Structure 1
Amino acid sequence: MNARRTFAGSLAAGLLAAAALISVQSADAATGPGELPFGSATTVGLHNAYDPAAFGYLAQGLDTGTGMIELDAWTDTITKEWKVSHSNPLGNANNCVTASTPAQLYTGGANKNLETCLDDVRVWLGAHPGAGPLVVKLELKGGFAANRGMGPAQLDSLIAGHLGSAVFRPADLLAKPGGGAYPTADEAAKAGNWPSRAALAGRVLVYVIPGTVEEGNPFDTLHTDVEYGRHLRDLAAAGRIGDAQVFPAVHGAAAGDPRGKYGEAAIRPWFVLFDGDAATYTGGGIDTGWYDSRHYLLVLTDAHNVAPAISATDPTVDQARSRTEQLARAHASIVSSDWRRLPAVQSLVLARG
């Protein structure tokens, strides 16, 4: 077992060294990847990185140098636990382990709650202080259950308790470098107030989307995005925006300003992150440059389906790199995929647009 862990550690170190070199070579010739503002870069992310079929341990997904991992979570209102699995709302099915040291990231029993997955991220970043920024995409499969004590405030508390100061919060986006703050996330983003990637090394940005079960539930009339958008609005009004740990995302590609679907105009300025199908975004009829010009973050999912389609899991390095470059030109902030065995692509940092 010790020999296997030594080999795994050596392999991970080699992959990270290669990834760092590739990332430097891939950035705009005049601007290194660290100097790019966070909102002006394109990186690659891993869909369902928590899946044991993808990686034996979550840390192995992080070892690829990826810019994003996705976690699916359920509110278990019976035990008041946030379960991490694809389809079991009452149990865990994931590759998160109970680690307090870097060595423990690659050993021990898996199938833990959300807080343990976040602990794994924190421990891994502690061992790789120059890595990141890392985006954690959180799909709340069934949505919040605030009426049962599992709402936005409880999620904020959990994230703050397990990621601590590593979190890049909405309040951090609002803060002006010379003092003071922008009143909304929209105004801060349009002002280009994203820090450089170098300034965000070791940091984590968490965003949430409504889950597939929630979106398909005709009895659920308050979805995750609206609920967290209201939460941000109310915290800001109360002078407590620093409590918020999460960015809500507008889910689903649409033409124009997709925030128009929200009937409550007061929550619209709290959405600066958009998540949807890459083929829909790039298939015509949607101006993706609109997002880039306003410095909004745009996550393009199922990157393999953009014409011409390539393998969802095992394209060649050249195919995956070409697709990433194609979507960077299409103004993606993150290109989401299941390219689990391509660290040379997962670690890319490109100039956006």
Structure 2
Amino acid sequence: MNLRRTVAAAALTAALTATTQLGAAAGAATPAELPFASTSSVGIHNTYDPAAFGFLAQALDTGTSMIELDAWTDTVTKEWKVSHSNPLGNSNNCVNASSPAQLYTGGVNKNLESCLDDVRVWLAAHPTAGPVTVKLELKGGFAANSGMGPAQLDALIAAHLGSAAFRPADLLAKPGGGSYPTLDDAARAGNWPGRSSLAGRALVYVIPGTVEEGNPFDTLHTDTEYARHLRDLAAAGRIGDARVFPAVHGAAAGDPRTGYPEANIRPWFVVFDGDAAAYLNGVDTSWYDTRHYLLSMTDAQNVAPAISATDPTADQARARVVQLAGAHATLVSSDWRHLPEVQSMVLPRG
């Protein structure tokens, strides 16, 4: 046996051993029986890219637990454009389906609401699938002063995902009645529903965009703006209007929420998103797990030893997912578009 095969065999053996240990640690419960935050699953980066999939529904067909959409606020037309780099036009694989038969036909390059329509129609046609997490990157941030702020995003999601959306208010609601005061309180109390009860539903979380983060004139980023929105809705008794979870963007040691000067918005962050390799380089990721926060690890392929960003072997990708599940990831993100057997993996977390 040559060295490459020896390494591959060792990686697969380690992955299978780790999977067994994960199951034992979770009391042999199946992933469907576990709370959402107690599982690890897989997602696809830039899922809307027409070079990745001809239709968004084809990405969902892989069994993936997360899709990613990049959106721009077009303040002239008041449209949320979905594109990687064009703020004034759409470049995506969304078709504005109104029935399952339309998911794989018709013209593409639609707006954000059409992408969400496709997700809603696909979920309705696959009621036992999911939950699906929709990672939304607002490339240039909100434009609330032009009527494209958090409230308008909530309204758009409400109109196009409908009851399929898992809302912040759903996490806050106590099973016996009443509600927790903040998302942090609810998460730390372990109030996440089981995966099986979230079948057919979608959770949307939002991160600041690359253009926004690089804009020295933008002093109010997406994460802060939406967290303020949640705080204010809760104070007004209207938290049920919210449809999005803001995410802390970027791996950091300790509690990264302390970087927000406004202490009263920190408890509205229970989703964290950052580079997998950075999380594994000195960050105590068990901190997220014990508090039942969602932890999305991106660029999974770059964790040493690096593997292909797009086409690793199934064994390599499977071993990496098991490794990051053991490192307390909730979502393992990559561009592994051709491995449905990996995209559909769901493991106990930690």
Matched, 1:322 2:319: yes
TM-score, with normalisation over the residues of structure 2? 0.93
Secondary structure at the residue paired with 1:93?
A: coil
Segments of structure 1 that go 5 or more residues without pairing to the other structure are: 1-23
Matched, 1:35 2:33: yes
Q: Quote the Cα distance in structure 1 between the aligned partners of 2:20 and 2:333.
A: 21
Match of 2:208 in 1: 210
**Among 329, 340, 350, which residue is 2:337 paired with?**
340
In the superposition, relative to structure 1, how do residues 141 and 26 fare at CA in structure 2: closer, same or farther (>3 Å)? farther
Match of 1:78 in 2: 76
**Among 303, 312, 326, which residue is 2:309 paired with?**
312
CA positional deviation for 1:33: 1.8
Matched, 1:65 2:63: yes
In the superposition, relative to structure 1, how do residues 189 and 129 fare at CA in structure 2: closer, same or farther (>3 Å)? same
Matched, 1:221 2:219: yes
Q: Quote the Cα distance in structure 2 between the aligned partners of 1:98 and 1:211.
A: 24
Secondary structure at the residue paired with 1:268?
A: helix
Q: Quote the Cα distance in structure 1 between the aligned partners of 2:188 and 2:102.
A: 42
Match of 1:349 in 2: 346
8 Å CA contact retained: 2:94, 2:108: yes
Match of 1:4 in 2: none
Match of 2:16 in 1: none
**Among 224, 238, 248, which residue is 2:236 paired with?**
238
AA in 1 matched with 2:132: L
8 Å CA contact retained: 1:142, 1:212: yes
Secondary structure at the residue paired with 2:40?
A: strand
AA in 1 matched with 2:314: V
Match of 2:184 in 1: 186
AA in 2 matched with 1:223: H
AA in 1 matched with 2:347: L
CA positional deviation for 1:99: 1.1
Q: Quote the Cα distance in structure 1 between the aligned partners of 2:292 and 2:339.
A: 28
Structural RMSD (CA): 1.3
Match of 1:154 in 2: 152
**Among 280, 284, 288, which residue is 1:287 paired with?**
284
8 Å CA contact retained: 1:297, 1:333: yes
Match of 1:199 in 2: 197
8 Å CA contact retained: 2:144, 2:150: yes
Q: Quote the Cα distance in structure 2 between the aligned partners of 1:196 and 1:98.
A: 30
8 Å CA contact retained: 1:41, 1:349: yes
**Among 295, 298, 314, which residue is 2:295 paired with?**
298
8 Å CA contact retained: 1:27, 1:33: no
Q: Please say which of residues 291-300 and 100-109 is displaced more in the overlay.
A: 100-109
8 Å CA contact retained: 1:26, 1:350: no
Q: Quote the Cα distance in structure 2 between the aligned partners of 1:98 and 1:142.
A: 24
Q: Quote the Cα distance in structure 1 between the aligned partners of 2:335 and 2:157.
A: 25
Q: Quote the Cα distance in structure 2 between the aligned partners of 1:244 and 1:98.
A: 23
8 Å CA contact retained: 1:152, 1:231: yes
Q: Quote the Cα distance in structure 2 between the aligned partners of 1:191 and 1:99.
A: 38
In the superposition, relative to structure 1, how do residues 25 and 55 fare at CA in structure 2: closer, same or farther (>3 Å)? farther
TM-score, with normalisation over the residues of structure 1? 0.92
Q: Quote the Cα distance in structure 1 between the aligned partners of 2:208 and 2:110.
A: 22
Secondary structure at the residue paired with 1:71?
A: strand
CA positional deviation for 1:141: 0.1
**Among 171, 174, 179, which residue is 2:172 paired with?**
174
8 Å CA contact retained: 1:67, 1:134: yes
Matched, 1:259 2:257: yes
CA positional deviation for 1:27: 7.9
Q: Quote the Cα distance in structure 1 between the aligned partners of 2:187 and 2:148.
A: 29
Secondary structure at the residue paired with 2:63?
A: coil
Runs of 4+ deviating beyond 3 Å: 24-27
- Between the two proteins, the alignment pairs up a number of residues equal to 329
8 Å CA contact retained: 2:22, 2:349: no
Q: Quote the Cα distance in structure 2 between the aligned partners of 1:121 and 1:99.
A: 9
Percent identity of paired positions between Structure 1 and Structure 2:
80
Match of 2:142 in 1: 144
